[in-house]
């Protein structure tokens, strides 16, 4: 099945009814939240939307796929003390995404992939995927783009001398320099003695939360002054390729 357009919002209701039984809906989810004193608060939203469109265009050559509009707001309670942050609490965010996905399922779609671009959304989106699939005849996947692309990013050296993915550090600032260099200032914060990220896996043996942690590091994880637009472009390319492969794999597994 060949679809007329890549973007869900560019099709009319007749097109979408016809596409629903076979098409995969790729739903990018971001956030609007503080990203240090240097990056725009829309960083996660801009990045996940870009990745979804790039990956979707690659995958659409092999499978029927539609990219939904990116959800700009996430669960970002830990960033509220800095200002410049829109956020929903965990239960509200879970319910909001659940109901958006449910509406897509009720419209006849049976394959949905939730692509996350903000760490605070990660586990909640996995719960949505599980619960929708338990309650409805739909195949649902959920993942953060950096976990999908982890091995490819490590091969690209994105773990060297920075936190991967970190927050508003070298990695994310490089991504933003590749996308919107006009809104990333040249004068950016510096941190000394930034080590490598453990390349083995994004997952940790346990999750620990420490009160006041984000305030203690001024809301960014490593040294954004070391960011580079060319590296950012390479990172975006390997992420898009990895996500496209995951979309195709998921679609074929749900056929």
Query: 3-state secondary structure string, 41-93?
Result: CCHHHHHHHHHHHHHHHHHCCCCCEEECCCECCECCHHHHHHCCCEECCHHHH
For the chain, the domains span 8-196+214-253
Q: Where are the beta strands (DSSP E) in 77-135?
A: 111-116
Q: Is the pLDDT of residue 1 over 80?
A: no
Q: Mean pLDDT throughout 124-142?
A: 98
For 230, residues 6+ apart whose C-beta sits below 8 A from its C-beta are 178
Q: What is the pLDDT of residue 4?
A: 85
Specify the 3-state DSSP secondary structure of 234. Answer: helix
Q: Mean pLDDT throughout 78-96?
A: 98
Q: Please give the CATH number for the structural domain made up of 8-196+214-253.
A: 3.40.50.10310
Q: Mean pLDDT throughout 183-209?
A: 92
Weakest mean pLDDT among 17-26, 98-107, 154-163, 205-214:
205-214
Is residue 227 very low, low, confident or very high in pLDDT (cuts 50, 70, 90)? very high
Q: Is the pLDDT of residue 118 over 90?
A: yes
What tens digit of pLDDT does each residue of 13-49 get?
Answer: 999 999 999 999 999 999 999 999 999 999 999 999 9
């Amino acid at each position: 099945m060949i679809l007329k357009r890549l973007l869900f919002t560019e099709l009319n209701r007749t097109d979408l009814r016809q596409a629903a039984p076979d098409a995969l809906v790729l739903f990018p989810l971001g956030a609007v939240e503080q990203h240090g004193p240097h990056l725009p608060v829309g960083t996660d939203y801009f990045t996940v939307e870009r990745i979804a469109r790039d990956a979707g265009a690659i995958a659409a050559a092999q499978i029927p796929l539609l990219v939904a509009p990116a959800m700009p707001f996430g669960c970002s309670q830990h960033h509220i003390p800095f200002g410049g942050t829109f956020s929903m609490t965990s239960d509200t965010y879970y319910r909001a995404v659940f109901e958006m996905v449910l509406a897509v399922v009720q419209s006849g779609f049976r394959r949905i992939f939730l692509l996350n671009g903000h760490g605070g959304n990660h586990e909640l989106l996995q719960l949505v995927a599980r619960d929708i699939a338990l309650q409805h005849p739909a195949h649902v996947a959920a993942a953060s783009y950096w976990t999908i692309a982890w091995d490819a990013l490590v091969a690209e050296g994105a773990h060297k001398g920075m936190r991967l993915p970190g927050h508003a550090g070298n990695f994310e600032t490089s991504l933003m320099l590749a996308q919107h260099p006009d809104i990333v200032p040249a004068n950016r914060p510096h941190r000394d003695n930034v080590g490598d990220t453990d390349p083995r896996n994004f997952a940790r043996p346990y999750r620990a939360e420490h009160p006041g942690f984000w305030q203690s590091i001024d809301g960014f994880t490593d040294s954004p002054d070391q960011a580079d637009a060319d590296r950012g472009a390479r990172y975006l390319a390997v992420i898009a390729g990895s996500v496209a492969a995951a979309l195709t794999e998921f679609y074929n597994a749900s056929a």
